[in-house]
């Protein structure tokens, strides 16, 4: 009997754990954006003579990638690596090498944007999250290097790329909170936001315009006045005609 009760207790506990896990999974619809891009520590950075060969091998890897989503994800990983190189070079005050990596970052993000224009691929939400992480990295780099025009161009390019992702996924990420150097964001479907904006616009328009008054009575009075004037003119003409007839009869 005791064993039976023990087994029942274990089963109940397991069921509760599973229910709690399912509830947590349903509520966990937030995306955490972190600046986790570390400075590049590899042997072939932007100042290395073999750097061009490294970039060529990255392009070759893309050439043999058939899956569209995987292709775009790889492009964004290459862009992330460029940001890692930029961070490393800026820390060492190697401005020229940092600018070289930034130029390649711009080239990579432009290629991704053009790729998005031509693709009908779905499942790009994870790639869109990667772009948001790039933006956070670039924001932090700009704070440390506010006079870098290359960083500013890269940041603007990242914003344009995110906009292109929104057009494809019909999703945008809204910032919810900042905590422990992490940004919590939530994906929201664009048609819902559009509907909310249209409803808000209609409400504002109704408040500004207020109740409308239609001048029906004034128009009717004018029409009546015009009709009375015409009738009077006809009556006067008939009177003149009758007077003339009467004079001839005499």
pLDDT digits (tens, 9 = 90+) for 72-126: 999 999 999 999 999 999 999 999 999 999 999 999 999 999 999 888 877 788 8
pLDDT digits (tens, 9 = 90+) for 115-165: 998 888 777 888 999 999 999 999 999 999 999 999 999 999 999 999 999
Confidence of residue 9 (pLDDT cuts 50, 70, 90): low
- Calculate mean pLDDT across residues 233-244: 54
φ, ψ (nearest 5 deg) of residue 176: -100, -45
Tell me the helices (H) and strands (E) count for the chain, helix number first. Answer: 8, 3
Is the confidence at residue 239, as pLDDT, over 50?
Answer: yes
Confidence of residue 66 (pLDDT cuts 50, 70, 90): very high
The residues, any chain, with a CB within 8 Å of residue 109's CB and separated by 6 or more, are 79, 134, 154, 157, 158, 161
Domain boundaries, the chain: 28-170
Residues, the chain, total? 250
Contact between residue 40 and residue 88 where contact means Cβ atoms under 8 Å apart: yes
The residues, any chain, with a CB within 8 Å of residue 185's CB and separated by 6 or more, are 30, 31, 32, 33, 132, 173, 174, 175, 176
Q: How far apart are the first and last CA of the chain?
A: 139
Contact between residue 173 and residue 128 where contact means Cβ atoms under 8 Å apart: yes
Contact between residue 142 and residue 189 where contact means Cβ atoms under 8 Å apart: no
Give the per-residue pLDDT at 200. 66
């Amino acid at each position: 009997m005791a064993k039976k009760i023990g087994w029942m207790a274990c089963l109940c506990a397991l069921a509760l754990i599973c229910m709690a896990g399912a509830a947590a999974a349903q509520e966990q619809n937030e995306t955490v954006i972190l600046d986790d891009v570390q400075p590049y520590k590899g042997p072939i950075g932007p100042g290395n003579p073999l750097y061009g060969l490294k970039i060529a091998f990255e392009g070759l890897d893309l050439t043999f990638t058939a899956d569209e989503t995987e292709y775009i994800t790889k492009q964004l990983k290459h862009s992330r690596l460029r940001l890692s190189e930029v961070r490393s070079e800026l820390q060492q005050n190697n401005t020229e090498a940092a600018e070289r990596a930034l130029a390649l970052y711009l080239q990579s993000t432009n290629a991704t944007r053009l790729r998005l224009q031509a693709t009908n691929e779905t499942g790009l939400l994870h790639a869109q999250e990667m772009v948001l992480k790039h933006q956070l990295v670039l924001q932090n780099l700009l704070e440390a290097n506010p006079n870098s025009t290359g960083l500013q161009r890269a940041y603007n390019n990242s914003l344009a790329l995110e906009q292109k992702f929104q057009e494809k996924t019909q999703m945008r990420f809204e910032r919810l909170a900042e905590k422990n150097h992490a940004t919590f964001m939530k994906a929201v479907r664009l048609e819902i936001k559009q509907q909310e904006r249209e409803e808000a616009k209609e409400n504002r328009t109704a408040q500004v315009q207020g109740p409308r008054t239609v001048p029906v009575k004034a128009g009717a009075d004018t029409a009546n006045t015009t009709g009375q004037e015409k009738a009077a003119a006809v009556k006067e003409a008939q009177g003149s005609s009758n007077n003339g007839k009467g004079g001839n009869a005499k």
